[in-house]
Structure 1
């Protein structure tokens, strides 16, 4: 599993209905994308749910590198770049994925938390802590799914979870889920990824 996210931080007075309309118009295009586990079309709106910014920030869990590369290099990402400019696409190697206790419910909100792996930390312990946090989140009321991944170029973990309600038992930035494409969700490997 591979995780990927890009963020488009928009002006404070930006009409976020433009983003909503865009997702309504094109979100379905990845509903059957080969190699994609899940794409959550995420939005934060300034002043809503404590967000300080307007931001469009899709988050992906990929089953295959080929699927991710086909998106990045084969035209899907180009459409976004043509509309908004080319953002940095962050990538993390998967550590864990767990379906949540509310796996059959629609995902309405997402939480993302990035945190550094401290210098001097035992790497195996840090990875295991991330795995255990994903499992803990998945057991919480309203959890649709939880995942953890690591960027070894920055030694940073990311915890990502989807929720059916706006009061998740997870720390981090809260996003609204505008659409969820999940063609390969059932094929995402469960549990620890090594």
Structure 2
């Protein structure tokens, strides 16, 4: 599993209905993309859920590198780059996944990034992060991934309703979910 995200931070007075319309008209285009576990169309709006910025920040869990490459080198990412400029794409190696028990489409997401101290054992840190994957009735999907270039842990959780008050991290609203191969992503530890 590969995790991927890019963030497009927009001006404070940006008309976010443009982003909403883009998702409503184009979001379905990845509903059947080969190799895609899920794409959560994440949005932050200044003044909502404590966000200081307007931001479009799609998050992906890829089942295959071929699917991820097909997206990055294909028409979808080219179109996004033509409209907003080419964003930096963050990439993490999947370490583990938990699926929630309640069916439905998520409405919210939380994302937390933790740098590992130089003296930390990465394997122990990943094991702790996996043990801390949320187990909550409103959980849709949660994952842990690692950027070994930065030694950074990514914690992502998608929630059926608003994220729980005690859920740490940056808060997003989910405006669409494409999940063509979510059921094919391995659950649990990924090594």
Residue 141 of structure 2: aligned partner: 145
Q: CA offsets, 1:150-180, max 9 Å, x none?
A: 0001110100010011132420011000000
Query: What TM-score, normalized to structure 1?
Result: 0.96
Rounded to whole Å, the distance in 1 between the matches of 2:161 and 2:155 is 18
Query: What TM-score, normalized to structure 2?
Result: 0.97
Rounded to whole Å, the distance in 1 between the matches of 2:4 and 2:46 is 23
Query: Contact 1:111–1:170 at 8 Å: present in 2 too?
Result: yes
Instruction: Give 1:74 shift.
Output: 2.0
Residue 165 of structure 1: aligned partner: 161
Instruction: Give 1:117 shift.
Output: 1.1
CA RMSD of aligned residues (A): 0.8
Residue 19 of structure 2: aligned partner: 19
**Where do 4+ consecutive residues of structure 1 move more than 4 Å?**
none
Gaps of 5+ in 2: none
Query: Contact 2:112–2:168 at 8 Å: present in 1 too?
Result: yes
Aligned with 1:125: secondary structure?
helix
Instruction: Give 1:105 shift.
Output: 2.0
Rounded to whole Å, the distance in 2 between the matches of 1:88 and 1:190 is 28
Rounded to whole Å, the distance in 2 between the matches of 1:44 and 1:85 is 19
Number of residue pairs matched by the alignment? 190
Residue 82 of structure 1: aligned partner: 82
Query: Contact 1:150–1:156 at 8 Å: present in 2 too?
Result: yes
Q: Which range is displaced more, 13-22 or 165-174? A: 165-174
Residue 128 of structure 1: aligned partner: 127
Residue 175 of structure 1: aligned partner: 172
